[in-house]
Structure 1
Amino acid sequence: MAQLSDDCFAFGGPMMSVDEAVGLITARVSAIAEIETAALVDADGRVLARGIAAPLPLPPFTNSAVDGYAVRNADLPQGEERAFAVEGRIQAGGAAQAPIKPGHTARIFTGAPMPPQAETVFMQEDVRLVDGGKAVLPPGLKPGANVRPAGEDIPEGYLALRAGQRLRPQHVALAAAFGLTRLDVVRRIRVAVFSTGDELASPGEPRAASQLFDSNRFMLMAMLRRLGCEVSDLGILRDERASLARSLKEVAAAHDLILTTGGVSTGEEDHVKAAVESVGSLVLWRMAIKPGRPVAMGIIAGTPLIGLPGNPVASFVTFVHVVRPTVLALAGALPEPLLAIPLRAGFSYKKKLGRREYVRASLRRAEDGTLEAIKFPREGAGLLSSLVETDGLVELDETVTRVEPGQRVGFLSYADLI
């Protein structure tokens, strides 16, 4: 279990930038040390605990890259085509029993091991068969063409997967190519999630006329699971400081992170701050970000707590920039910086200097074929439709004050954020 001192996140002064907040997290959060073994089929999304050196070269033997005809380099036609006697047929999974003879060629298929002394393969499309069973090979092919040498992809002993790698399907494929069936991974990060507010009702429960169904909690739990977390759903905690404090203290000992949504602003009925301070410590992060300025960071019995805003878009944006790097740091994962793709803006926009803003946008291809980012037509951090009907976020850094059509902007696809 991660243990942090009550003052290790202490911060005072002006609003913290997004980069400062992320830097503070990654520098101070200690990675979970517990390791478990996962079957290869269950390894996607997990964080690799130990690096993997290639136990064999890939490919493990020299093989043909195409369907065709294998020959010795010494026999390559020079200047004009040449007829070769075809001797042998080697399929994928088979083996050549004898070395190829001078002046001969062997029929070979993609993935089949090269026969001894054969070094080049002619593609079957370039070969002409003539009466008598001979293959006529054209001149001009380079020695070694269409052959995959042993270890061409990865040599034996190479550090193919690093500790801290968050495994994706391509990494699982590589481990499978080494013949591995189980991987040592970091134990899943345990996260307790709850919403706060008397104005919320859980889906499936009765909803009063003045209540909203709680959507943030389910969005955040889904995002956490995509990060490979083990999630505990604490439901909705009502606006009562003492019960909030008791619940926080109870879950802190059994979780690596506590995540809340709502109740972290400065209103009289926003009780999370007082509840945390009664059982731990909390420093509000006045982050210079829109949407999502009211973000809180606290420590309860050594367990970090992050309080996100109640508006769904603000909660989504701050999850990406605060919770995501915290989870990765707790798991000891290698850094995964969010890299905005440069695109052309198809909209006008004004913003404040010194604040980073994220504009919900869709992609379209303009008449000249260039991809453009088109701003969602309505404002508001409470519009779930703006997340559903767009493709990602346009990132406007602290130095930008205005965007005009045709200007280059950075675009973050939702697919890359979660």
Structure 2
Amino acid sequence: MTGGPNADPVHEAYAAWERCCRASSCRLQTGAERVGLIEAVGRVTAAPVRAIWSSPAHDLAAMDGIALRAADTAGASSATPVRLRAAAFHAVDTGDPLPPDRDAVVMREHVHERPDGTVELFAAVGPGRHVRTLGEDVEAGELLLPAGHRIRPVDAAVAAAAGHTELAVRARPVVAVLPTGDEVRPIGSQPGRGEVIDTNSLMLAEQARDAGCAPITLPIVPDDPAELAAAVRAAADGADLVLIIAGSSKGRDDHTVGVLADLGHVAVHGAAIRPGHPVALGVIANRADERAVPAIGVPGYPVSAAHVFTVFALPMLQAMQNSTDRPAGVVTARLMHAVSSRVGVEETVLVRLEGLSAQGEVRAVPAGRGAGALSALMRADGLLRIPAASTGWPAGSHVPVQRLAGAPGFGEAEQPAPPSTTRAHRTIDTTVVA
């Protein structure tokens, strides 16, 4: 892919792939289905969710004590306590519905009970004191969740409180993960000379699951074009996206691009990004249902594979679910070591985020840049982007770091807030490997 000096290589490559998918009649959005609240967690809403009823559904006591009419406490003080007969108050516990003629609660520890059954109050209270009013949390008809929202446990809980037992969600995109290579061995095998363990399938499948998808990991395919073609064709049957691991470069045993071209179309082969330069983006055609399927030739290096998933597969899968998910927050950090890059290539560097310095700054330490350094990815807290037009960042720069899931919560105030439905009324090794 080529472009001007200010071009965004990821955007250009993704746009070319998306055009190819649309021209090939790929299904780029999954259907809707209704599921129970437990199953709905992690799914994306297919329609706006509104409260069926109010929560609380009645005025409730917010404290243990006595329910009464606030007007009956007028003038109460330590010097002139107000005495109430038994008929003027009602004992309540937290969560009890208020009797219809009561509008306030006095905490039990502020009530002086007398032997004759009366009580004395030493302070006046206003209407609504220690009362959870009807609809205080959620009002009937109120918008709880917009369409395209990924449902969290708390979202499901609020929906339950508002009368829902199930929700309309997008069907999970099916992601077929196809490992390839004569040298690749299953997890649990003892690798021999020249062999590697199939860690990429595990990582990519779980990245897909985290994105709300249903991953299917297929058996390892040897470096044989005919076997690979048969496996890719089978993988596309019933899948919404196919990830073919390795074989997208130009080695003697790299057949992924040729197979993709034979079975469909290759929109992009090679993007000006690192890690992930040899990525192939295309479609698999000639399906039984005449629907082409998007496919990615994922580089075999683990860091490249993870990055390619994040920048290409993830946005495609989010679009299929009509998801409004936004990336994790960005934190500004002080770069502790210089990082350099080649002009014309957009590079993403793994960094660790360390605690606040004496100046109150979060520190970013490069975590290694080899595309095969899987442990560096494990230890990283964020991603530092070096634009294609830049030669890098000098030490001491204040840089924007895209936090990875589970990273320390530095700079929380700088993170984008979730969509609101609130009611209006209320120097280091610079070797770069693909």
Q: In the alignment, is residue 282 of structure 1 matched against residue 273 of structure 2? A: no
Q: Distance in 2 between matches of 1:283 and 1:16?
A: 17
One-letter amino acid matched to 2:243: L
Per-residue Cα deviation, 1:367-415 (whole angstroms, up to 9, x for no partner): 5484624424533121111122233334455576314336243231323
Mapping of 1:13-412 within 5 angstroms?
A: 16-21=8-13, 30-78=27-75, 80-81=77-78, 82-85=81-84, 87=86, 104-124=88-108, 127-129=110-112, 131-132=114-115, 133-139=118-124, 143-205=127-189, 207-284=191-268, 286-301=270-285, 302-331=292-321, 333-352=322-341, 355-368=345-358, 370=360, 372-397=362-387, 401-405=392-396, 407-412=398-403
Q: Distance in 1 between matches of 2:17 and 2:197?
A: 31
CA contact (8 A) 1:284 1:294 kept: no
Match of residue 3 from structure 1? none
- Say if 2:17 and 2:268, in contact at 8 Å, map to a contact too: no
Structure that is richer in strand per residue: 1
**2:411 is the counterpart of 1:414:** no
Identify the range of structure 1 (220-229 vs 16-25) with the bigger mean alpha-carbon deviation. 16-25
Q: Residue deviations 1:159-216, cap 9 Å, x none?
A: 3233332222122212222343333333221121112222221223463311111111
Matches of 2:329 and 2:395 in 1, distance apart?
Answer: 18
Tell me the residue number matched to 1:5: none
Counterpart Cα distance in 2 of 1:395 and 1:13: 18
Residue 31 (structure 1) shift: 4.1
* Percent identity for Structure 1 against Structure 2: 30
Amino acid at match of 2:400: V
Q: Deviations over 1:331-355 (max 9, x none)?
A: 2x32212143323225122233565
**1:348–1:403 CA contact under 8 A, matched in 2:** yes
For this pair of structures, how many residues does the alignment match? 388
Distance 1:398 1:340, change over 3 A: farther
Cα pair distance change 1:222/1:371, threshold 3 Å? farther
Unaligned stretches of 5+ in structure 2? 286-291, 408-434
Tell me the TM-score normalized by structure 2: 0.78
The alignment partner of 1:235 has SS state of: coil
Higher mean alpha-carbon deviation, 19-28 vs 166-175, is at: 19-28
TM-score, scaled to structure 1:
0.81
Query: Bigger shift: 233-242 or 399-408?
Result: 399-408
Q: Matched residues in 2 for 1:75 and 1:397: separation?
A: 70
- Looking at structure 1, the residues matched to 122 and 270 of structure 2 have their Cα atoms a distance apart, in angstroms, of 73
Partner SS for 1:258:
strand
Q: Alpha-carbon deviation of 1:282?
A: 0.6
> SS of the counterpart of 2:368?
coil
SS in structure 2 of the partner of residue 414 of structure 1: coil
Deviation at 1:80, TM superposition (A): 3.5
Inter-partner Cα distance in structure 2 for 1:290 and 1:122: 65
RMSD: 3.1
Cα-to-partner distance string for 1:123-174 (whole Å, 9 max, x where unaligned): 445x2525445242424x5543332221122211123233332222122212
Q: Distance in 2 between matches of 1:377 and 1:160?
A: 41
Q: Distance in 2 between matches of 1:206 and 1:165?
A: 43
Q: In the superposition, relative to structure 1, how do residues 349 and 108 fare at CA in structure 2: closer, same or farther (>3 Å)? A: farther
Once residues 354 and 75 of structure 1 are traced to their aligned partners in structure 2, the CA distance between those partners, rounded to angstroms, is 78
* Separation in 1, partners of 2:65, 2:278: 65
Give the Cα separation in 1 of the matches to 2:85 and 2:11: 66
Partner Cα separation in structure 2 for residue 68 and residue 354 of structure 1: 71
What amino acid does structure 1 have at the position aligned with 2:150? R
Instruction: String of CA shifts for 1:236-277, please: whole Å, max 9, x gaps.
Output: 222222322222223223211101221212334321111110
Structure 1's unaligned 5+ residue stretches are: 1-10, 88-100
Q: CA deviation at 1:33?
A: 4.6
Moved more, 213-222 or 404-413: 404-413
Seen in structure 2, the aligned counterparts of structure 1 residues 355 and 136 have a Cα distance that, compared at 3 Å, is farther
SS of 1:237 mapped into structure 2: coil
Pick closer, same or farther for the CA change 1:123–1:320 going to 2, 3 Å.
farther
Give the whole-Å Cα distance in 2 for the aligned partners of 1:174 and 1:261: 41
- Contact kept in structure 2, 1:193 and 1:235, CA below 8 Å: no
Residues of 1 paired with 2:188 and 2:313: CA distance?
Answer: 28
Distance in 2, matches of 1:326 and 1:313, equals 20
